[in-house]
Amino acid sequence: MTLLAVDDVTVRYGRLTALRGITLAITEGEVLFVTGPNGAGKSTLLNAIAGVVPPISGAITLDGANVTGASPEQIARLGFSLVPEGRNVFAGLTIEENLKVGAGMRIDKHKVAGDLDFVYREFPMLAERRHTAAGMLSGGQQQMLVIGRALMASPRLMAIDEPSLGLAPKIIDQVYDILMRLRAQRTLTLLIVEQSSTRAMMTGGRMILMRGGRIVLEGDARDMVKDKALKQAYFGFGDH
Amino acid sequence: MTAALQIVFDALSLGGLYALGALGIALIFGVMRLVNFAHGDFIAFCVFAMLWPSINAAAIVFAGNLPFYLLIPVLLLVGAALSMLSEVVVFRRFRNANPATMMIASFALGFVVRHLLLMLYSSRPKSITLWPSLGLPVEIFGARIPMLQVVTIIITVAVLAVLTLFLKRTRYGLEMRAAAENFTMARMLGVRANNVILLAFAISGMLAAAIGLILATNSGTADIGMGANVMLIAFIATVIGGLGSLPGAVAAGFLIGAASVVFQATLPHDLRVFRDAFVYGAVIVVLLVRPQGLFAPKSAKQRV
């Protein structure tokens, strides 16, 4: 079943066109990687889905509902959770308060306590420091916190923008371990944006390559990366 | 000893007034980056709401005749309603405008409110007597303190306590703090922008009403410009406190109140008329040393 459909979406910032007629669909339960160089429009794509930047044309459908031009809070309430680039923890709030903000909109309040326990089990470091201000955490810990916070919203589709940005390789492994485990346990659909295709190849799943606001290539991540010629031609950069 | 105690009480009551004002400004700045310069006019509006519209010098007291347990909630409601109305009618249209545009819109709104009052009540200050018994002094550790000062301090502390509980312990308070730090992120977690902003305006309006009550009781007059001075100091307090930081705004409000009182008490007699110049001089020194404010919010700090 198609969970998210983006149909011919164009986004402009003033005179700059960031997305040029993007069309893609995500099936429930799958992992979709969006890769591409800087300025390809990856983050804009996520922001358009989240309702932060309105598309000037095209349509976005989330779980059957047309959400084109809807507000971020409406889209979040339909089960879309975005972990934006740069982590965006509420630095002055404690870890637990950050997590509670994530659960604020939920209707199934009785399940919130259980999910809080779940997040604390997955990220024991967060449990230890639950009353610490989130601004005191390291980059890796903040990444765990924002993923935990997004989970507290009990989303059906979770989008993550550059989860590996600025993190040590060991921490990146850990983040992906958790993401893949969560996906299996909670039937979570994932949309992951990464600049490099290495992670997509390691993890497997479908991959979209963007350049200049367009989708230039789409296919199984492992097949795509195997093809050296394609890689050189479309990626425009060497091995990562 | 009693003189020192007198200064402490003066500082706490004046500082409390400034702190309440600064909170009203900082709450709205936190959620929408708007410095609401109409806040001072909201204060005056709340005071005049106790009077029946007339251009005579003698005030015809209207709502002001209510017993205190009715007058206070009614006035808080008036403040909240005016403030929420200003958000729905005016500020909502400027939601994504740049801060300077919003600030100018708030000046314009202030003019409208002030001239509405001028039209209804004329520019003459009116005398208004609320609770004359509060003017009587009470003796605390040998110092004779006006009852009103004690009440002002108690009200300030109570308001701060309730607001702290609200912000720390309730879901809406939590959402307001989150929205103040990163509005877009809060919305992406399902926090409804309109609700949070409307709530901030409601609380800010109630704070304006509380200040209006204290000022009117203190001075015994209703004057159209009566909110301007508190508004100016409150704005300075939010800047010194670190724009966006609520505890900072409160602390800076108390600090300016204390500085004012201490200068008044310690400056040589000839210099006392220049007390405000000394207070603003101190403000300039603080901003030179810490341009980001004394208590810059954590969200403004560099992260790893």
- Identity of the residue numbered B230: V
> Using the beta-carbon criterion (under 8 Å), do B187 and A81 form an inter-chain contact?
no
Least Cα separation, residue B42 to chain A (angstroms): 30
User: pLDDT tens digits for B81-104?
Assistant: 999 999 999 999 988 788 889 999
Q: Is the residue at B107 inside a domain?
A: yes
| Rounded Cα–Cα distance for residues B19 and A209 (Å) | 54
Q: What value does the mean pLDDT of chain B take?
A: 86
Q: Is the residue at B201 inside a domain?
A: yes
Mutation for testing the A interface, residue in B167, B171, B188 having most A CBs under 10 Å: B188
Q: Is the residue at B33 inside a domain?
A: yes
Mutation for testing the A interface, residue in B185, B298, B302 having most A CBs under 10 Å: B185
CB A51 within 8 Å of CB A72: yes
Whether the CB of B177 is below 8 Å from some CB of chain A: the reply is yes
Give the model's pLDDT for residue B304: 33
> Using the beta-carbon criterion (under 8 Å), do A73 and B187 form an inter-chain contact?
yes
Lowest-confidence region among A34-48, A55-69, A163-177:
A163-177
Give the model's pLDDT for residue B301: 44
Domain holding B132, by residue range, is 14-239
Least Cα separation, residue A163 to chain B (angstroms): 15
Least Cα separation, residue A233 to chain B (angstroms): 36
What's chain A look like in SS3?
Answer: CEEEEEEEEEEEECCEEEEEEEEEEEECCCEEEEECCCCCCHHHHHHHHHCCCCCCEEEEEECCEECCCCCHHHHHHCCEEEECCCCCCCCCCEHHHHHHHHHCCCCCHHHHHHHHHHHHHHCHHHHHCCCCEHHHCCHHHHHHHHHHHHHHCCCCEEEEECCCCCCCHHHHHHHHHHHHHHHHHHCCEEEEEECCCHHHHHHCCEEEEEECCEEEEEEEHHHHHHCHHHHHHHHCCCCC
Please say whether the dihedral angle defined by the alpha carbons of residues A214, A216, A219 and A221, taken in this order, is positive or negative. Answer: negative
- Mean pLDDT confidence for B8-16: 89
Q: Determine how many CB atoms are found less than 10 A away from the CB of residue B169.
A: 9
Give the model's pLDDT for residue B80: 95
Q: Is the residue at B8 inside a domain?
A: no
- Mean pLDDT confidence for A74-80: 93
Total tally of structural domains belonging to chain B: 1
Q: Is the residue at B223 inside a domain?
A: yes
Residue B188 has pLDDT above 90, yes or no: yes
> Using the beta-carbon criterion (under 8 Å), do A72 and B187 form an inter-chain contact?
yes
Whether the CB of B87 is below 8 Å from some CB of chain A: the reply is no
Residue B107 has pLDDT above 70, yes or no: yes
| Rounded Cα–Cα distance for residues B134 and B127 (Å) | 16
Q: Is the residue at B212 inside a domain?
A: yes
Q: Is the residue at B302 inside a domain?
A: no
Angle between helices B275-289 and B246-266 (to 10 degrees): 140
Provide the 8-state DSSP code for B34.
-
Lowest-confidence region among A37-51, B145-159, B197-211:
B145-159
User: pLDDT tier at B252 (50, 70, 90 boundaries)?
Assistant: very high
Give the model's pLDDT for residue B201: 95
Q: Is the residue at B272 inside a domain?
A: no
Whether the CB of A100 is below 8 Å from some CB of chain B: the reply is yes
The answer to pTM > 0.90 is: no
In this prediction the ipTM stands at: 0.88
Domains and CATH numbers, chain A: 2-87+156-235 (3.40.50.300)
For residue B60, give the H/E element and its range.
strand B60-61
> Using the beta-carbon criterion (under 8 Å), do A91 and B181 form an inter-chain contact?
yes
- Mean pLDDT confidence for B195-215: 93
Whether the CB of B261 is below 8 Å from some CB of chain A: the reply is no
Least Cα separation, residue A63 to chain B (angstroms): 17
Provide the 8-state DSSP code for B170.
S
Whether the CB of A204 is below 8 Å from some CB of chain B: the reply is no
